[in-house]
Structure 1
Amino acid sequence: MLRRQFLSGLALAPLAAGALGSGLAAGWPAARAQDSPIFFRIGTGSTAGTYFPVGGLIASAISHPPGSRPCDSGGSCGVPGLIAVVQSTEGSVYNVQAVAKGQLESALSQADVAYWAYHGEGPFAEQPPLSNLRAIANLYPESVQLVASVASGVRSVADLADKRVSIDLDGSGTQIDAKLILKAWGLTPEDLDVRTVSANEAVEQLREGELDAFFYVAGTPTTAIEALARDTSIRLVPIDGEPAERLLEDYPFFARGFIAAGLYRSVPSTVTLSVGAQWICSAEIDEALIYEVTTALWHENTRRLLDAGHQKGRLIAYGTALNSLGIPLHRGALRYYRERRVIVPDVLEPPTP
C-alpha cells in the first residue's frame, strides 16, 4: 500500500524507496475519493543525463495537486489529485527491476533493456522474465555517446584497448550497450582499464585527466557533456562501419543515428547508434489511473511544456508514441490509444489476465 507524504518532501530527489502515495494498485477511483494527494513516482537516471529533466517535465504534465486551478483556467491539466515526483536512479536496468517489484510506479527505460527484461533474455537470461512490465509510450531516441579526451588519442572504438574507460554503473542500460559495442569490435571489458562510475563521476574524472573516455546513452545534448566540452577538449568517437552494421542486424532495438555538429563546443557531427527512451509502468497499476496519466501526457497543453522544457522534449510526439515498443502496452494506455483510433500492433496487446 502507498503511504501519505508531507508536501515538503516533493522538493527532494531522489526520494526514499518507500515514498509512495496510496491506492494506486488497489483502485485509483477509490483512492481519489479520499480527497488527499496521491503520489506517483517516475524513476529516471543520473542527474547528469536526460532522463532526469525529461522525467521532471512529464511529472509536471501529469500532476494536478488538490487545490490547483482548473486546467481551463490556466492551471495544470494533469490528473486531478495526483502529484508525480521524479526519482534519480542508477538507470534503465535498475528501473525495470524496481517497477516489476512495485518499488516504483513508473520509470523511463531504454527500449532494449525493457525488451530483454520482459522476455528474460540477454543480460536478464538468468532470472525469471519481468512479465508484468507494461509500456505507456515511446518518448524519444537516445544516442550512444562515446566521449574521449583529445589528449587520449582515442579516435575509434578499437583505440579503447588498454585505455581508462568508464562503461557506466552496474545496473545501467549504458553498460549493457557498451559491452555489446566492445564485443562488436572484438574487445571485452578485460581489454580495457575499465571503470564503472556514474556519468557525473566520469565527466569529472575525464576533466581531471583521470579517465580517457566514457560511454553514455542519453538524449542529446546532455547537460554534463555540454559543460565538459566548454572547458575540456573532447571528441565524440564514431560508432559506424561494419561492426555497427552487424549490431543493427543482430539487435533490432538499435537504430542509426548521428549527433549534430555544434551540440557540444568544437565537436563535429558524429555517426552513432541510438535506442528509444520509453515510459514504462507495472501491469498492477490501476487501469483508470494509467488511462488518465496517458491522457495528460498527450493533452494539448503538455505540448507547450515539452517544447519549452528540454530539447528532447520537442521529440516526444503522439505520432511516434508506439514506435519501437518491445513490451505490451498497459491496459489503461491501450484504452486511450484505441479510443483515438490508433492502430495498435498485436504484439503490443497485453496478455489476458
Structure 2
Amino acid sequence: MFLKSLAKVLGAVALVATVAAPAQAQQFFRIGTGGTAGTYYPVGGMIANLVTQPGKLIASAVASNGSVANVNGIMGGSLESGFSQSDVAYWAYSGTGTFAGKPKATDLRLIATLYPESIHLVARKGSGIKSVADLRGKRVSMDEPGSGTLVDVRLIMGAFGMTDKDVKAEYMKPNQAGEKLKDGGLDAFFIVAGAPVAAVAELVSSGAGVELVPIAGPEIDKLRESQRFFTPDVIPAGTYQGVGEVKTIAVNAQWITSAKQPEAVVYEIVKAVYSDAAQKALAAGHSKGKLITLSNAVMGAGIPFHPGAEKFYKEKGLLK
C-alpha cells in the first residue's frame, strides 16, 4: 500500500512539474516608453505585440516619464528594457551630461536604433515667438523632470544664453502642456518625439491657434559642434494640418536594455522585430514604423550592443 501511495504522490508531483515547467520558462519583458501622447508609447505597444510569444515571452509597453526614467528603471531592475534618446543613453553609460557625478551605467546595452526624434517647439499664435530667442520671459513648458526632452531643452536654451530662470518655466507632460496652451495658460512647450506626434496633431487640428517654431540658426549650428548627437532635421510640410516645412534638429530614438538580460531572449526579440511580417506591420501601424528597419538598427550606436542583438546583426552582415 505504501509503495502504491508513494507512486501516486510521485506521479502527482511529476504532473504538477510538467504543467508548471512552461510557466517557469515564460519570460516577461517590459518596455519603458514615455507619455501616452508621445510617439514612444504607441510604437512600444506595436513592438510588444509583435515580439510576444504566448507561453515563452510576454512583452508589454509601460508608460513612463521618458528617457532618463527608462534608463534608471533598467539599471534599477524595474524594467527589462526601454526607449531612450541616443544622447541620454550615451550620457548614462559614460557618466557625463545630465548623469555627470553619478555612477556610470556600464551595464547599459543597445538593442536597436529605431528612428529620428524631431524636437518640436509649439507656440501659441500671437505670442510673438518666432525663434528660441523669443522664449525669454514667456510661459514655457519644458517637459517633466526625468524626461530626455528636458535635458535637450536646457541645452538648446543654453545655446541662446538662457536657463530655466530666463523663462516662466513649467514642467509637465506634452498633452497637459497642450491643454494649458490651448486655454491660454502657456505660451509655448517643447516635445521631442517622432513626427507626427499625437499631442501636436490634435492641437493643430483643433483650431487652437498654434504654430511650430524653427530651431535653427548660428546658435544651433554651434550647439551641434559641441553636442554631436544633435542632427539637422526637417518636419515636412503637411506633417501637421496646414503647417509648412519647419527646420529643427533631432536625436535618435533607441531601444536599450541591460547586459544582464539573457542573450537568447534578446536575440529572439530582435529576430522577431526584423522579420518580414513584423516589418510590414510596423510600416502600416505608424509613420515612424516605416523607419524601424534593419539598416537603421545599427546607426548611431553610442553604447555597446547587447550580445543577443550583436549576434543577430552579425548574422545579417551589418556588424563585423
TM-score, normalised by the number of residues in structure 2: 0.91
Secondary structure, aligned partner of 1:261: coil
User: For residue 99 of structure 1, what is the aligned residue in structure 2?
Assistant: 74
Residue 206 (structure 1) aligned with residue 189 (structure 2): no
Structure showing greater Rg = 2
User: Percent same amino acid at aligned positions?
Assistant: 47
CA contact 2:310–2:319 (8 Å) conserved in 1: no
User: For residue 17 of structure 1, what is the aligned residue in structure 2?
Assistant: none
CA contact 1:133–1:283 (8 Å) conserved in 2: yes
User: For residue 238 of structure 2, what is the aligned residue in structure 1?
Assistant: 262
CA RMSD of aligned residues (A): 1.3
Q: Could you tell me how far 1:42 is from its partner in structure 2? A: 0.4
Q: Which one of 31, 39, 42 corresponds to residue 50 of structure 1?
A: 39
1:103-157 deviation per Cα after TM superposition (whole angstroms, max 9, x unaligned) = 1000000000000000000110121101110001000000000000112121110
Structure 1 distance, partners of 2:21, 2:50, is 18
CA contact 2:83–2:253 (8 Å) conserved in 1: yes
Secondary structure, aligned partner of 1:278: strand
Structure 1 distance, partners of 2:167, 2:259, is 40
Residue 174 (structure 1) aligned with residue 174 (structure 2): no
User: For residue 347 of structure 1, what is the aligned residue in structure 2?
Assistant: none
User: For residue 201 of structure 2, what is the aligned residue in structure 1?
Assistant: 226
The one-letter code matched in structure 2 to 1:342 is L
The one-letter code matched in structure 2 to 1:318 is L
Structure 2 distance, partners of 1:299, 1:215, is 35
User: For residue 250 of structure 2, what is the aligned residue in structure 1?
Assistant: 274
CA contact 2:159–2:220 (8 Å) conserved in 1: yes
Q: Could you tell me how far 1:33 is from its partner in structure 2? A: 5.0
Residue 156 (structure 1) aligned with residue 145 (structure 2): no
Q: Which one of 177, 184, 192 corresponds to residue 159 of structure 2?
A: 184
Q: Could you tell me how far 1:266 is from its partner in structure 2? A: 2.1
User: For residue 240 of structure 1, what is the aligned residue in structure 2?
Assistant: 216
Q: Which one of 49, 53, 70 corresponds to residue 64 of structure 1?
A: 53
The one-letter code matched in structure 2 to 1:209 is G
Q: Could you tell me how far 1:35 is from its partner in structure 2? A: 6.2
Q: Could you tell me how far 1:265 is from its partner in structure 2? A: 2.0
User: For residue 328 of structure 1, what is the aligned residue in structure 2?
Assistant: 304
TM-score, normalised by the number of residues in structure 1: 0.83
> Which structure 2 segments of 5+ residues have no match?
1-19
Residue 338 (structure 1) aligned with residue 311 (structure 2): no
1:160-215 deviation per Cα after TM superposition (whole angstroms, max 9, x unaligned) = 00000000000100000000000001111100000011111101101111000001
The one-letter code matched in structure 1 to 2:102 is Q
> Which structure 1 segments of 5+ residues have no match?
1-30, 67-80, 345-353
Between the two proteins, the alignment pairs up a number of residues equal to: 300
CA contact 1:32–1:38 (8 Å) conserved in 2: no
User: For residue 136 of structure 1, what is the aligned residue in structure 2?
Assistant: 111
Q: Give the helix-richer structure, 1 or 2.
A: 2
Structure 2 distance, partners of 1:144, 1:285, is 31
The one-letter code matched in structure 2 to 1:305 is A
CA contact 1:234–1:267 (8 Å) conserved in 2: no
User: For residue 165 of structure 1, what is the aligned residue in structure 2?
Assistant: 140
Q: Could you tell me how far 1:341 is from its partner in structure 2? A: 2.1
Q: Could you tell me how far 1:89 is from its partner in structure 2? A: 0.1
The one-letter code matched in structure 2 to 1:51 is Y
Structure 2 distance, partners of 1:119, 1:310, is 32
Secondary structure, aligned partner of 1:194: strand
Q: Which one of 288, 292, 299 corresponds to residue 264 of structure 2?
A: 288
Secondary structure, aligned partner of 1:126: coil
Over 3 Å counting, the alpha-carbon distance change for 1:298 and 1:32 in structure 2 is farther
Residue 41 (structure 1) aligned with residue 30 (structure 2): yes
Structure 2 distance, partners of 1:45, 1:192, is 25
Structure 1 distance, partners of 2:26, 2:203, is 40
